[in-house]
Structure 1
Amino acid sequence: MSLKKIGLALVAVALTASTLTGCGQGASKDAGATKASGSIKIDGSSTVFPITEAVAEEFQKANPNVKVTVGVSGTGGGFKKFVAGDLDISNASRKIKDAEKTQATTNKVDYLELPIAYDGISLVVNKANTWVDKLTVAELKKIWEPGSKVKTWKDVRPSWPAEPIKLYGPGTDSGTFEYFTEAIVGEAKKSRADYNQSEDDNVLVTGVKGDKNSLGYFGFSYYEENAKDLKLVPIESGGKTVTPSMETIKDGTYKPLSRPLFIYVSKNSLQKPEVKSFVKYYMENAEEMTKAVYYVPLKKEEYQAGLSKVN
């Protein structure tokens, strides 16, 4: 059993215990307090996917008549469907853009923006890579900027081997891609195109695992789940070298690649009992679920603020 599955199993036990002790006291996080039926359509960010998937699995155990489908088309891909009115919930690793807001208004899609966790975009290399000790923001820009002349590791630092760099990263519909390029290259969505792209972070993990000369980036959760097969790369920014961790992401010292994560919920969909029950369950249990899948939770009062918007 993977560490993530063990974590989710422990959360499931804790939630069950919470339900039992809360009976008769009016204070329970029970997903089945009001049995629901119907279907819920969710799509979007691959970074947010593990959290939403975990919530959906636990919710459906208590509500077997609700079918929750969670797709992974990237933040941009999810928003395209969401603002067209085709989704109940959109997972997002960035805030909705003005152009997307305009489309939502045109299509009469009103929504709630609910922060659910923090993440740190993580740079990783193959476990067999013995030369990379850290990368500076300037070196990362040199590697990833449009028209980059970097072809080998030696092109990054003269002391590194003249082996070809094999790059892995999110596709252009990904919020992670957009955030990374803005933070590192200096302009959102500006990047060299000759790298292995996927909206599915598991595909990127597999690529880096299988290539000694690889370099890739994706959400911290995907590194943590595969830590035994990957090597995390510290980032030097502003004269400080920091490695992403639960602590450095939470305290904001992992710069410039820490960011908030969101779900966007259609207000029309919230009129459906199954959607409202799911979103309430999400906000009530997000702290435990977030930690179980290796993300950094918000403060309790932030989840309470989100819950108050739903009620």
Structure 2
Amino acid sequence: MKKLIGIVAACLMIASTAFADTTIKVDGSTTVLPIMQKVVEAYMKAHPDVKISVSGGGSGNGIKSLIDGATDIAMASRAMEQKEIDLAKTKNVNPNQIVCAIDAIVPVVNPGNKLAEITTAQLKDLYTGKITSWKDLGGEGPVVVISRDTSSGTYETWEGLVMKKERVFPGALMQASSGAVVQAVSKNKNAIGYVGIGYLDASTKGLKVDGIEATAENAKSKKYPVSRDLYLYTNGAPSGAAKGLVDFLLGAEGQKLVKEAGFVPLN
């Protein structure tokens, strides 16, 4: 009887392990989210035994979830900070960085705005509250500044590359996602925001920065001044079903989906 119970227990343990290996949780950046959604849809179609849940709560939240052991893969639109890496190690989490795509953060205005290009210095003046009227840039009306919230990797990249570590001024309207930025700018003729290149559509107008257009080539070469890599983070090298998903994303089919999502593939 004891032998039978032992066999049953072993079988249950094997079944439990197998189930765990086919369940993946992905959380983090809303910039990487459209890429991951396309990749997950294609991967689950090819691997119906694998169950994957994807949510986009921002890069900071995704990294926190990885550190807390609440997600298998964290999506991030900025690199982990040293303090996050140090905290992870105190919890026996070894962050493994994987570059999955390339992006350009593009300032966007309402299509009714006549502005076609802007400088990084002007963007900084807008986002510190120094410029408050479009008249200063050849337009008309008050400027409505739209920004991502502080948990966003896009916000942190913008702060580093455009703001030069100065904070966005308190009068900016903070949004929880890139989609919310697009919606806010599309509905307000005086608004300016910034989004990843994959979020550009006809509802807003992307601006050249320092005379350089946000093209795939310019983003990849980093000639465009607000270019960046997009990341996945795992606890150590990915394994099991998570490795299968990551390998798929980095492979030819996955990188094709990166391009379909509007972002820049690695190859």
The two structures have a TM-score, normalised by structure 2, of 0.87
Aligned to 1:302: none
- Length, aligned pairs only: 248
1:150 and 2:108 equivalent? no
Aligned to 1:170: 148
Q: CA shift at 1:95, angstroms?
A: 1.1
Aligned to 1:261: 230
Aligned to 2:103: 119
Q: Distance in 2 between matches of 1:86 and 1:36?
A: 13
Q: Match for 2:229: what amino acid? A: P
Aligned to 1:193: 170
Aligned to 2:52: 68
- 8 Å Cα contact 2:85-2:95 kept in structure 1: no
Q: CA RMSD in A?
A: 1.9
Q: Distance in 2 between matches of 1:193 and 1:77?
A: 22
| % same residue | 30
Equivalent position SS for 2:142: coil
Q: Distance in 2 between matches of 1:46 and 1:218?
A: 10
1:292 and 2:235 equivalent? no
Structure 2 unmatched runs, 5+: 1-18
Q: CA shift at 1:150, angstroms?
A: 2.9
1:182 to 130, 143, 160: 160
- 8 Å Cα contact 2:182-2:203 kept in structure 1: no
- 8 Å Cα contact 1:118-1:298 kept in structure 2: yes
Aligned to 1:217: 194
Q: CA shift at 1:196, angstroms?
A: 2.1
Q: Match for 1:248: what amino acid? A: N
Q: Match for 2:126: what amino acid? A: I
Structure 1 unmatched runs, 5+: 1-34, 300-311
Q: CA shift at 1:140, angstroms?
A: 0.9
1:11-50 pair list within 5 angstroms: 38-50=22-34
Equivalent position SS for 2:48: coil
Q: CA shift at 1:215, angstroms?
A: 0.6
- 8 Å Cα contact 1:36-1:63 kept in structure 2: no
Aligned to 2:7: none
Q: Assess, with a 3 A threshold, how the Cα gap between structure 1 residues 115 and 191 changes in structure 2: closer, same or farther.
A: same
Q: CA shift at 1:193, angstroms?
A: 2.4
Q: Distance in 1 between matches of 2:245 and 2:219?
A: 27
Q: Distance in 1 between matches of 2:265 and 2:95?
A: 22
Q: Distance in 2 between matches of 1:138 and 1:279?
A: 38
Q: CA shift at 1:202, angstroms?
A: 1.0
The superposition leaves residues 273-302 of structure 1 with CA deviations (integer Å, 9 ceiling, x where unpaired) of: 322222222222332111111111113xxx
Runs of 4+ more than 4 Å apart: none
Aligned to 1:57: 41
Q: Match for 2:91: what amino acid? A: N
Aligned to 2:222: 252
Q: Distance in 1 between matches of 2:175 and 2:206?
A: 20
Q: Distance in 1 between matches of 2:81 and 2:194?
A: 23
- 8 Å Cα contact 1:37-1:63 kept in structure 2: no
Aligned to 1:22: none
The two structures have a TM-score, normalised by structure 1, of 0.75
The superposition leaves residues 163-202 of structure 1 with CA deviations (integer Å, 9 ceiling, x where unpaired) of: 12122221101111011111111116x1112222223111
